[in-house]
Amino acid sequence: MKKTTTRLADGRELIYYDAHDAAVRDAADRRPLDPVSTASEVRHDRLLGDFVAVASHRQGRTYHPPADACPLCPSREGRHSEIPAADYDVAVFENRFPSLAGDSGRCEVVCFTSDHDASFADLTEDRAALVLDAWTDRTAALSRLPGVEQVFCFENRGAEIGVTLGHPHGQIYAYPFATPRTERMLRTLAAHRRATGGANLFDDVVADELADKRRIVIEGEHWLAFVPYAAHWPYEVHLYPRRRVPDLPALDEAARTEFPRIYLELLRRFDRIFGPDAPPTPYIAAWHQAPVHAEDRAEFALHLELFTIRRTSGKLKFLAGSESGMNVFINDVPPEAAAERLREVASET
């Protein structure tokens, strides 16, 4: 992997990740951009104990531009984008309209293909491995920034999810706090350790799924994918490395090598859930990593949660009264049925 760091016209950082050392990234950003001005702040909810990012400047962000005005496509003569190069493998840059900025954290955009009409599932295994390298490198770099407590790599796909740019891409958030969801996992982890005399809850969950077998989707030598027993979403898969590690930089070479094949197969199955004539499945793919400074971070298990809000062809799962008002999910698809469907649509070998 070759890494090239440069700056956009307004001073934001841009990093190219290339598979070949011969790649040259010297194209300059020639846009007449003013320095980025943000109004991001993090507020604490005293009743719930969690945090809300208030970012009014995001009201003016780019919203569903036509393909010929896409800010994530490579630049060309007469139309300059966020990526000055005429082509790229993987490019990561500071978000122009960040939810978190300055003392309130940092937001980055991850572009993993220059093809506007592609998706992550269309990548080769080599390109998917390069994306994993980029996620890993950025996790390590952002974790070293003063004030950063947790790094979150994720991809939103589909207008139904709320994506405002059609070009395939992901994001990375560096939070100035440990997220409420992760804090809740850590509390449950600690309670389980006390109740069992030292057992690790993540290890026990994985062991239980392996013993049950009904919800297993893919078993690799170094990764395991399964629908969780109490899945919140209609189709939801959790992907764990078999050797528990707290974050992406801690993955060993064997897990890194196998990951692209397993993950690409999962994404391709998601696109086949609802049949050959269904539009691409909207999804969220979310990496859960240990907070940077958590005392028990070694007990945390890195994992990826992949889920869709589509419950059947043409119908979405909306977060209505119980889910939005009380955070109690009601799932219309039994996890065992979801796992069976995801096994049915496996790629032919």
* 64 given a catalytic annotation: no
Contacts of residue 235, Cβ cutoff 8 Å, sequence gap at least 6: 227, 270, 273, 281, 307, 308, 310, 333, 338, 341, 342
Give which of 338, 347, 285, 343 is closest to 312, Cα–Cα. Answer: 338
Catalytic one of 167, 169, 222, 288 = 169
**For residues 185, 103, 131 and 280, what is the CA-based torsion angle, rounded to 10 degrees?**
70
| Distance of alpha carbon 290 from alpha carbon 281, whole angstroms | 29
- Provide the phi-psi class of 306: left if phi over 0, else alpha when psi is between -120 and 50, else beta: beta
CB 65 within 8 A of CB 165: yes
CB atoms within 10 A of CB 85: 22
CB 299 within 8 A of CB 200: yes
Cα 151 to chain centroid distance, Å, stands at: 10
Instruction: Give catalytic residues, as residue numbers.
Output: 169
